[in-house]
Structure 1
Amino acid sequence: MTVRAELTVPDEVITPGDSLTAHLRVWNESRIVDAYRLTLIGPPADWPNTEAALGQLPVYPGNHEKINIPLTLPRHSDLPPGPLTFAVQVASVEDPLAVAVPEATLSVGEFHDLDMKPVRPRVGGALWSTNLILLENTGNATTTFRLHLAPEAPDAPLRTKLRRTRLALDAGEEARVGLSVRVTSPVPVGTAADWKLGVRGGWGDEEERTAEFVHRQRPILPKRAMKALIALTAVAVAAVALWLSPVGGKKPTVKTESNKGPSQVEAVQQAEKKAADEKKKQADDQKKQEEQAKKEKDEAGAPKKKPLDAVSLSTDSKAKKLTDEYTVPKGYRLVLKAVQITATGPATGSLVLRAGTQQLVTTPVTAPQSPSAMPPSLKAGEKISLLLNCPAPAGGGAPSPSVPPGPQPTDCMATAALTGDLIPLTGPNAEKETPPTGAPAPNPSSRS
């Protein structure tokens, strides 16, 4: 028995992000009613909102049927422009050896886009500052981008300069461009002023992206330094006045020693030392405040410990879903506390629960058992898998008419509800990994 099928797509260029419909025709050239299992093969099977299994298509003898396959091209730099070939596997249910694999070719078009952001959202200085702009070509073709930097306020006392104003990036390529900001009208004393600067990245005639950051113009002499300078000046003036003042109407002379206290020179030195100590104390207090603010900011932005919310693995042989898995997210490790397993099916069915490379439990579906011991923790990227084995009963064939409606003996279902905590790997909220008390060591013989 042979299978004849034809796959067609629109004869036009499809831009990533747009949708199209592929058409599949299947002919039944046999003398019996047959159904055909349809499976999508090629890159479209991995695209979002697309499933590889397209189901079954029944066709009467001597006829043909048509099915529409909707496809949406992902708007991503990994999808290059040009021809893209894919196929659909058409397999007969009655004769598993009768298979056809028709192919079709899409014409993928170009698209251009740019992701742009500053390394530091705020910079500052009394005379100048520097920053970096991160660029990424998020289109699927090589593009030449134009860059422009300018303050938003026309009266801003700033002069800007970009190290590069034009650069070509391949699809998915990243680059960094340095920039400098110079203050044209410095402020000797006073309060700081914030000036917004905008970076525009453009290509083509009208397309462009923007990013912003702030330059804080500080005075040359901050308030604390100004107060310290005034205090030192007042001490110096008082010391000179005391040094030159007459004593008892006699000729002014320099006092070198006094029975009632230190000399005038020592008094001036003590006053200068006291002012210097006060300045140092103010600087230390400011440094501590800045360090405390940075610590609080880091702790607020750091990832935190969180529970594993509503995660369960489910399998169903009737839906042809024999395995399900959960992957520990990046930047975390998973401390698994408990697993509750429920299952139904015939006595021949069984299920296996794995955590990473460790096999936690193997149990029949008729009497499911939850694991009694958990691994210390699972690293980021490791998986918890539930595998269902539901073999057909001996003899096979269609069910007897006397069998009541409902799930047949070959139908198996299993669910594993996971309970645990996701703990950050780095940052102030990270915790040291310790094995649970009384947890047995993993048995190498139980690993698959």
Structure 2
Amino acid sequence: MSLTASLDESSVAATPGEETALPLQVLNSGRTVEEYRFEVVGACAAWSAVEPAVLSLYPGDSGTVSLMLRPPRDSTVPAGETPFGIRVVPTSEESATVVPEGRVTVLPFTETTAELVPRSSHGSWSGQHRLAVDNRGNTPVTVRLGAQPGTELARVVFAVPELRIEPGRAEFGKLRVRPAKRMWRGTPVTHPFQVFATPRVAEDQEPLEPVLLDGSYQQEPILPRWLPRALVVAAVVLIALIGLWYALLRPAVKSAAREAVTPDAVRSAVEADKSASPDGENPDGGGPSGADSAGGDSAGSGDGTPGSSESPSPGPSADAAATAPTSAQVRVSDSVGGGANTGTALRVPAGQTFELTDIVVQNPQGDAGTVVVSAGPDRRVLSLGLENFRDSDYHFVTPILVPAGGTVTMTIDCRRVGRPVGAPAPARCTESLFLGGNMRPE
């Protein structure tokens, strides 16, 4: 082999936001002048480079290049040890490539920011806020939450005393401001307070400065200012209505009742009472009232014409009775770069036809890609982009007919997996299909 390459050190520590150089010795042990190219291999390749990128050596000569490590000071590069390699490629004989290997340790750093949402609150009983804490460092951090009331008239209480935050993530701590005394009436009072978020560090490290935020809570009276006036107005209106009743409406009702009780009215009531019998008999001692007419209706007319009868109402048709409402659903998952994945929601039985009228497609994770709903092997019903919706429903006035043996399927082609808010990142795209319609015989 006409090439020898070695690192001065097999491991190195790199500080985020700073530049670290690691020398690489190259020896040309061949008989011709050679030019060498360098390529960084590994997770650190995105923030590393070899300077100079090309080196020419005479036979028997050696040279030095430097691996420049520049890890960014953000959460994209986690703290810890990462292996790497430097591919040294001779231009004239690429098969003689050598790859010296090493390890770089990215040092941890802690950086947190916070925001109080909302800054000001108001209410009669308490005020509610949320303290949003962002971890902009490259290592998990535990943050202690606390508060300092501006006065003794209010107390700040956190739902949890600490938050553990992963790199590049944010967590919310709920807090409530409660006044020391209730205020039934009067002018609203403002209570200032201050909250802080302090990152916890190891005992051998220097403590970090807490993030301080100012807020306020306006305590409002329990009874609104307009309530006494409203009660007075309601009492005045009630008294006026009672006076109006006794002054005008009550005498008029009594007068109308007296005028209604006349001799003619009494006589008519007595005659109506006498004409009524216990079993519906007439006063002249005859049979039950309406007996002859009832008999005539039953026997019909004397010329043999049958009496009229009520025809039955038409019942539901046989086709309507045989039609059955049908629904189905399917859930399909797909990986990025793995090709499309298909799931069957419904297969039409033999001798039946399915009338597809409703479709609901759900994308709860916010994935990106394509979804195709088909009613048969060559019949696309819908073709949608996942990034354009979360929930989408379609209703057809004219049903889509799926014959016996046909299937309704959903095909997913995942390009990017979504990331739900406040939940672990999923590994695959996952979508759901719900359909509805009627199953009828052919």
TM-score, normalised to structure 1's length? 0.48
Q: Greater Rg, structure 1 or structure 2?
A: 2
Name whichever structure is richer in strand by fraction.
2
Give the TM-score taking structure 2 as reference length.
0.48
